[in-house]
Structure 1
Amino acid sequence: MKLRLFAPLLAAVVAAPLLLTGCGGSSDDGPGYVRLVNATASYASLDLYDNDVKASAAVASNAVGDYATIGAGSYTFYLKPAGSSTAVAAVAQSVSDGVHNTLVAYTTAGSLRTRYLSDNEAAPTSGTAKFRVFNTSYEAGNVDIYVTAPTDTLANATANALTIGGERFSTYGEITAGTYRIRVTAAGDKTDLRLDIPSVVLTDQQILTLVLTSTPGGVLVNGLLLNQQGSLQAQVNGYARVRLVAGASASGTVAATVNGVNLSSGTVSTGKPPAIGTYLQVPAGALTASVSINGTDVSPSGLSAAPGADLTLLVLGTAAAPQVSLISDDNSPALTSGYVKLRLVNGVNGLNSTLTLQANNGVLTKSSNIAFGAAAESTQVIGSTTASPTPLEVDSATSSSALYAANVALLTPGVYTLFMLGDAATPSAVLRLDR
């Protein structure tokens, strides 16, 4: 097996700026060839226009369109939701005689972005394939990529690509043709698995790009296997991440299993570590949950997890009156440098009141009037240190005194949840660094 280490490449392709004005194109020379990859989850179908001419129609999410034959020259390529007259992106690029290009549209950091790829990489050595990685996901951060035999563990594996950051490429590397398993991990941590593609056949002379895209939870990634001047295969993550937060009344014992994965040791208790469990990967899709409080079954039904989602299974109340919620967690980092993300979860049994979170002596609007069993949407808050901490306060709508007040360090670029748990007489606050 021939494996090579691929270095990160900061400018492997031409970045495609998003514009709002067009530029004149020329179709007097050529032709060249351009196609669209819709690597977004937010646009079910996209049309590609070169200037005012529709070049490719209704390219579905996680799919690639056919090459459009376009005269050589300069163009503004417009992306529009299929059938719409409104452009959601405009990209100034050129088309050269006989040259193939792929425009990859993806979403990251809250916006639609593009990259204009050349599809004219030279063929690899006989008996090998060329392989590289394009990490489109700002949310996922730096990742390592391992290409191994299908049955190999990562214990002694050497990464093929190291520390590939958001919106960055690795260089191409050559790999002996054969069948492989591709795994993506957090940079420097083999145990933090972000994507597992169990079987990929690399053929002689193949030129392949693995495109990594963001997921709802912000940590796991999806994949697209894009062949130069060829097909595309979507590799949607088959897993979500779920954790258990046990907040049963009177420190009741909570146990939970989801899709066969034990989220607890069976002795998770309110106010006693680990009341807030760690994220574990479970098969995505419909969720079969087995939940108990003090040995009494309180299992919910009708739960599901989107591929790549991060979720909190919040168990509150008593066996006689349980409250079990599946909360969506957005663990993508703050978009603004120097800031963290912070939210409030209300898990105080018997309080019969909403809760409101203040930071830096001001109410966080998104964490205001949070009902029992609910979680707030995250708010960006300026980060702080131990030497200069952030004052936090949680107030109840029915009390004149704060349920919680403390000065805490909110270290950037952290994602935090402040859990209010326990019973009304003795509420307990746990500030959790989710990422």
Structure 2
Amino acid sequence: MRWSSRIALAALATFILAACDDDDPVRPTAQGRVRAMHAISNVATMDMLFNTTSYKTNVAYKGSDGYKATAVGATAVKFRKSGVATDLLSANATVANGADYTVIALGTEAAPQSLVLTDDNATPAAGKVKLRAIHAAAGAGAVDVYVLANANDLATATPAASNLAARAASAYIDRDAGTYVVVLTAAGNKTALLTVSGVQVAAGGIRSIIAVEKTGGGTPLEGITLTDR
């Protein structure tokens, strides 16, 4: 073989090896997850967008559509009355890689408010579950939160979270896997404002119990249970 041919073959082999080294798999885009919830008591249905992308249309009061993968960075979560092209409310979530967020629109059409929460969906300890209460009833006062095996235990129970203000969430509450009654009372007393029964959570599960006003506003409060994990 001529010397020039050997040089050419060597150069070709080097090129092929280099090309193979550069042929790495495409890395996935960094993402978090966001979910939105409609809790504006006097708006029947809403359309929701993440920036300019539709999240869900015609979402009924107390509705959500679960977590959606979202690119890292600022995400404007927009809430519009169904069929209306202008925002009733826009809330900003700064999305980090691998993190989860819940964005709630609450209040009234005349005075809409937002609540942006960073969710902790890390797996609970073996045999355990995590629960948290979210106070999204804008017109209600602060509440105490009880997580009970039986509603009759309220009289002697100690709150799992105390003096939880509107537009706030409790810390996550660790419990054994099982079925619970979540009771919200006016802060400082045992007068039940909301009782959510039959919150059944298998080991490793996470739930958010959300207190909202009744349709149209005011009391009695109503509860929503979201499955986080």
Q: TM-score, normalised by structure 2?
A: 0.76
Amino acid paired to 1:173: I
User: 1:156 and 1:43, CA in 2 relative to 1: closer, same or farther beyond 3 A?
Assistant: same
Counterpart residue type for residue 213 of structure 2: S
What is the letter of the counterpart of residue 199 of structure 2?
Answer: V
Do 1:109 and 1:138's aligned partners in 2 also have CA atoms closer than 8 Å? Answer: no
Contact residue 38 and residue 46 of structure 1 kept, 8 A? yes
**What is the aligned partner in structure 2 of residue 33 from structure 1?**
33
Give the equivalent residue in structure 2 for 1:404. Answer: none
SS in 1 for 2:30: strand
Counterpart contact for 2:36–2:77, Cα < 8 Å: no
Amino acid of the structure 2 residue aligned with 1:115: L
- Report the CA distance between 1:109 and its aligned residue: 10
1:157-196 alpha-carbon deviations (Å, 9 max, x no partner): 2222211122222211201111222222111221x22112
Secondary structure of 2:85's partner? coil
Secondary structure of residue in 2 paired with 1:155: helix
For CA contacts below 8 A with separation 6 or more, give which structure has more relative contact order. Answer: 2
Q: 1:226, 1:165 → 2: CA distance?
A: 20
The match for 1:221 is: 221
SS of residue paired to 2:154: coil
Query: Which amino acid counterpart does residue 196 of structure 1 have in structure 2?
Result: T
Q: Alpha carbon RMSD of aligned pairs, Å?
A: 2.5
Give the superposition deviation at 1:217.
6.8
**TM-score with structure 1 setting the length:** 0.42
Following TM superposition, by how much is the alpha carbon of 1:139 offset from its aligned partner in structure 2, in angstroms? 2.2
**How many residue pairs get matched?**
201
Tell me the equivalent position of 2:17.
none
Q: Provide structure 1 residue ranges, at least 5 long, that are not aligned to the other structure.
A: 1-27, 230-435
Structure 1 residue 77: deviation in Å? 2.6
Q: Name the CA distance, whole Å, in 2 between partners of 1:95 and 1:180.
A: 32
Task: Point out 4+ residue stretches in structure 1 off by more than 4 angstroms.
Answer: none
Please tell me whether the aligned partners of residues 183 and 195 of structure 1 are also in contact (alpha carbons under 8 angstroms).
yes
- In 2, Cα distance between the equivalents of 1:169 and 1:109? 22
Show the 5 A alignment for 1:144-159.
144-150=144-150, 152-159=152-159
Amino acid in structure 2 at the alignment position of 1:104: I
Structure-2 separation of matches of 1:151 and 1:210: 16
Q: In the alignment, what sits opposite 1:179?
A: 179
Q: Sequence identity of aligned pairs in percent?
A: 27
SS in 2 for 1:154: helix
Within 5 Å, which residues of 2 pair with 1:238-257? Answer: none
- Contact preservation (8 Å) 2:149, 2:180: yes
The equivalent of 1:198 in structure 2 is 197
Distance, in Å, in 2 between the alignment partners of 1:182 and 1:127 is 20
**How far off is 1:219 after superposition?**
4.7
Q: For residues 353-412 of structure 1, what are the alpha-carbon distances to aligned partners after superposition, in whole Å with 9 as ceiling and x for unaligned?
A: xxxxxxxxxxxxxxxxxxxxxxxxxxxxxxxxxxxxxxxxxxxxxxxxxxxxxxxxxxxx
C-alpha distance in 2 between matches for 1:139 and 1:55: 27
What secondary structure is seen at the aligned counterpart in 2 of 1:212? strand
Displacement of 1:129 in angstroms is 1.0
Q: Which amino acid aligns with 1:174?
A: D
User: 1-side partners of 2:94 and 2:162: how far apart?
Assistant: 32
- C-alpha contact (below 8 Å) 2:39/2:136 kept by paired residues: no
Letter of the structure 2 residue corresponding to residue 32 of structure 1: G
Contiguous gaps of at least 5 residues in structure 2: 1-27
Q: CA deviation at 1:88?
A: 0.4
